[in-house]
Structure 1
Amino acid sequence: MAEKILMKGNEAIGEAAVVAGCRHYFGYPITPQSELIEYMAKRLPQVNGVFLQAESEVAAINMVYGAAGAGARVMTSSSSPGISLKQEGISYIAGAELPCVIVNMARGGPGLGSIQPGQCDYFQATKGGGHGDYRNIVLVPNSVQELVDCTVLAFELADKYRNPVMILGDGALGQMMEPVAFPDKAAEAPAKPWASTGLKGRKEPNVINSLHIQAPDLEKHNYHLQMKYKTIKDNERRSEEYRTEDAELVLVAYGITSRVAQSAVDMARAVGLKVGLFRPITAWPFPYEELGRLAKTARGFLAVELSAGQMVEDVRLSVTGAKPVYYYGRTGGMICSPKEVFGIVKKIMLGEEDK
């Protein structure tokens, strides 16, 4: 790893993508991720890459489809409503089994919402979002350094599984500045014999397609995709635990909210309350088994998120009714404070809070 430098989150993603071998970017400006598209506009020509500001989000995601189909390491980025416009293209890319990286620096919603941070795109990211039985791998970093690490990882996972990978951040992570280090060299892209690059000695060209007219053929393809998703679920779950060994109450939070929750854990521990933190790093596949194991020792769980309650559903699925699951959230771009969360923790521990 090189020496650390101070960078804004959005710009750090761009540099990490370049280090990871991304040479193609297609996007459309929208706050709070505009610094990323601006960074790529400046940086990609310096490494003989291709940057193109598309005429719309719909156009951008279909350009990603084309570049991925030709075997390129390619990325796009947007924020909440812009990702909504890309959903049809993302479903096509997943159906065609093409690797790409999609960044969502989420804002408060619904609708146009605000440019303030939000986590109300969790369902959109983890449940597919578009049409059809498909999945994105979803990474949820909580620091600028982890934005870098997850960007490099995203390209590797995308190529490994021939699948879209989404980095789900938020306006706060994109705008904050922290010291970061970049790997000296990322893993090279694997050979892509399936890419549509002309005959090159083959008798038949490679065809990139997500269309299967005959129902039995489409069902066979869907079965193949589901088997791939099972492999991803078995092998790519990522999470982190903080002071959970003896925790009676486990907070569950991701992204920027996990930093708030960790401070609340420290506040609780300072007054003798046994509280810990479980942090998903992959929102899909969600670390159900890892969180579920904590239900054997913890007395309860508190999901903390910047939404009206989305990740809390996965927390309940993890716990399978064995222990109570509570929820606390803020919406509209409001960020909860450690003091707020600590107040909820005290109420739960004293038996004053409803689920």
Structure 2
Amino acid sequence: MNDKMLMRGSHVIGEAAVRAGCRFYAGYPITPQNELTEYMAGAMARLGDGTFIQAESELAAINMVIGAAMAGARAMTSSSSPGVSLKQEGISYLAAQELPALIVNTMRGGPGLGNIAPSQGDYFQATRGGGHGDYRTIVLAPASGQELADITRKAFDYADTYRTPVMILGDGMMGQMMEPVVFPEPLDLKKLPPKPWILDGAKGRPSRIIRSLLLDVSVEEDQNWKLVRKYEQIDREIPAAERYLTDDARLVVVAYGTAARIAKGAIKRMRDIGLKVGLLRPITLWPFPNRTLVEMSRWVRHFLVYEMSTGQMVEDVRLGLEGRSQVHFYGRPGGVVSTPEEISKVINTLYHRQNLQEE
């Protein structure tokens, strides 16, 4: 029987992770995601077969995750913006070694130490791999408590299916907000697909090696192209987005996460006064839902990208559309959270400036 609980977002991720079979968590405290680390400490203690480690640093935490993933565990770490920066070398190792793991980034204002207010300034870091070398990371952007629960389970499944690190990109507002959530029954770990590549002791079989030091350049090149083929498969199979009131829209707002919730409130206001405005909310930030954008460009001539940053996702929207439609941008960086009223004014001004009411 499914359980319905009223929980803050960070706790939702923790509970969903445990129910998805996560049995290893390593992290280092940083605001505004400490509630997740706290929850995992208690959850792993209650399980009896889980491991929680408060590492001495972010670098140590991500490298512990590498070891746990090699041994076959569903492993996870979490942090906030500057802490995730410190984990980037380890995330690059995970990608190179084709190891599954979940990384949660509860974004804060930046750059630098910034502040602990909600922001979306880590989009480039997350969607461009973030570390050194040619690699990508699956990036998922939930926008509600229920989606946090659903996406956390999906993230572990993606990580195992494609043998790749997966990142959940949230923010402090999402982490603190309390909403009712329905959780699925916990997974039976014995029913998870086998991992024939893990390092669990040879026991009479040939030894296995997992490494990313490939000194022969031809071998390194082959590995890079192997990763590219995997990323192409991911791009074919998992892009996801929510469309809201887009079928007759003349202007579509593109936003993700918390920004999308704000934008949806503004769009409802615009519809109330007769403006044909819709919302496209990318759920996978990488791979980006380009095919959805291209399809919508057949009837939508103007897209407004709204981000809680100086403008990062706007580049992916422009790349996806390839000039098919006009792209506009509005953003508030540094932890400033717009109101639906503010976004309504921006939409209204743009709508009339482009004479969309006359089309």
The verdict on a shared fold, with TM-score over 0.5 as the criterion, is yes
Aligned equivalents of 2:56 and 2:180: distance in 1?
A: 34
SS in 1 for 2:159: helix
Aligned length: 352
Q: Which amino acid aligns with 1:338?
A: P
Partner of 1:96: 97
Q: Which amino acid aligns with 1:193?
A: P
1:20 maps to 2:24: no
Q: Is the 8 A contact 1:261 1:338 kept in 2?
A: yes
SS in 2 for 1:278: strand
Q: Which of residues 192, 201, 222 is equivalent to 1:198?
A: 201
Aligned equivalents of 2:168 and 2:265: distance in 1?
A: 24
Partner of 2:161: 160
Aligned equivalents of 2:18 and 2:186: distance in 1?
A: 10
Q: Is the 8 A contact 1:32 1:115 kept in 2?
A: yes
1:346, distance to aligned residue in structure 2 (A): 1.0
1:120, distance to aligned residue in structure 2 (A): 0.4
Partner of 1:326: 328
Q: Is the 8 A contact 2:3 2:184 kept in 1?
A: no
Q: Is the 8 A contact 1:79 1:104 kept in 2?
A: yes
Unaligned 5+ residue runs, structure 1? Answer: none
Aligned equivalents of 1:119 and 1:27: distance in 2?
A: 21
1:295 maps to 2:297: yes
Partner of 1:108: 109
Aligned equivalents of 1:19 and 1:46: distance in 2?
A: 13
1:124, distance to aligned residue in structure 2 (A): 0.3
Partner of 1:64: 65
Aligned equivalents of 1:318 and 1:221: distance in 2?
A: 27
Q: Is the 8 A contact 1:250 1:276 kept in 2?
A: yes
Q: Which of residues 276, 279, 302 is equivalent to 2:278?
A: 276
Q: Is the 8 A contact 1:26 1:64 kept in 2?
A: yes
Partner of 2:184: 183
1:43 maps to 2:43: yes
Q: Is the 8 A contact 2:16 2:149 kept in 1?
A: yes
1:308, distance to aligned residue in structure 2 (A): 0.3
1:299, distance to aligned residue in structure 2 (A): 2.1
Q: Which amino acid aligns with 2:110?
A: G
1:350, distance to aligned residue in structure 2 (A): 1.0
Q: Is the 8 A contact 1:33 1:174 kept in 2?
A: yes
Q: Is the 8 A contact 1:197 1:206 kept in 2?
A: no
Q: Which runs of 4+ in 1 moved over 2 A?
A: 185-189
Q: Which amino acid aligns with 2:41?
A: A
Aligned equivalents of 2:351 and 2:285: distance in 1?
A: 27
Aligned equivalents of 1:49 and 1:323: distance in 2?
A: 50
1:347, distance to aligned residue in structure 2 (A): 1.1
1:189, distance to aligned residue in structure 2 (A): 2.8
Aligned equivalents of 1:189 and 1:133: distance in 2?
A: 30
Q: Is the 8 A contact 1:159 1:189 kept in 2?
A: no
Deviation by residue 1:222-246 (Cα, 9 ceiling, x = unmatched): 0100000000000010111000000
Task: Indicate the RMSD between aligned Cα atoms, in angstroms.
Answer: 1.1
1:337 maps to 2:352: no
Q: Which amino acid aligns with 1:210?
A: S
Aligned equivalents of 2:233 and 2:354: distance in 1?
A: 42
SS in 1 for 2:195: coil
Alignment of 1:116-127 (within 5 A): 116-127=117-128
Partner of 2:150: 149
Aligned equivalents of 1:334 and 1:200: distance in 2?
A: 56
